[in-house]
Amino acid sequence: MMPQGPKDVVTQAVDEMFGKRDPDAVARLVTPGFRQHSALLGDGPEALRAHVAALPETFSYTCARLLSDGDLVLMHGTYHGLGPRPLVAFDLFRVADGRIAEHWDALTPEAGATVSGRSQTDGPTLVTRPGQRATSRQVGETFLRTVLIDREYDRIAEFVHADDFAQHNPGTGDGIAGLGAASAAMRAQGLVPRYDRVHRVVAEGEFVYTLSSGSLGGSPYAFHDLFRVDGSGAGGGFIVEHWDVLTPVPPRLPHDNGMF
């Protein structure tokens, strides 16, 4: 039986393709016109099928978070068995007519240690405030537009809780002070992140994810950010937790779809 909702579609597809490593699942759960945005795979279902067929027996995936918003589904988790270190990943899917129609992703090697002492995927996993979607979306989008795109850094305290802010970026500490210290260290190395545009947003409950384009140290980058919003701060809520993956945009991709 085919799954019904977007989350069901993605959950079944990931289980069959990456859990059971069944390449035949691609024909059942992926559209014929499947569009790929990953920097690692070619376009269309055949490239995905070949990838699934080539997965090693040691491969596995651990999902930390699963969020959906309309036809978009976000998975945040860790891939094992694709290299010497586990890969922390964001995978974004668009579902159409009960099948996966489009995919974006970002992967980074798991850090051995982080400034905050947290891992890149731990923390709250479940949506506990289902009625907070609109607030989370507003806080996340406004923060991105005001602080990161328009670079009004003096307004960060309007959106990020000064003390109760848990950070999962490996090089950044907790609180606004942690953000400031990491920003200063990056500027000293000439690695200032510049956000230019938000392309995709997934909000569910207290979580909001954004896929943005920009640059780091002058090179084009894709920024995948996941925020947790407490829903009670000034202007509707404060960001109290953050996970991310930053990935460079290569000069050539194995398809013509771009990464955004």
Q: Give pLDDT tens digits for 30-82.
A: 999 999 999 999 999 999 999 999 999 999 999 999 999 999 999 999 999 99
Return the CATH number of 130-248, one of 3.30.300.30, 3.40.190.10, 3.40.605.10, 3.10.450.50. 3.10.450.50
Q: Considering only CA atoms, give the Rg of the chain.
A: 18
Residues of the chain with CATH 3.10.450.50: 6-109, 130-248
Amino acid identity at 210: T
**What sections of the chain are H helices per DSSP?**
6-14, 25-29, 44-53, 133-143, 175-188
Q: Is the pLDDT of residue 205 over 70?
A: yes
Residue 172 and residue 186 in contact, taking contact as beta carbons nearer than 8 Å? no
- Specify the CATH architecture of the domain 6-109: Roll (3.10)
Residue-level pLDDT at 64: 98
DSSP percent split of the chain into helix, strand, coil, nearest 5: 30, 35, 35
pTM of the model: 0.95
Residue-level pLDDT at 233: 53
Residue-level pLDDT at 3: 55
DSSP codes joined into one string, 187-237 = HHTT--EEEEEEEEEEEETTEEEEEEEEEETTEEEEEEEEEEE-S-SGGG-
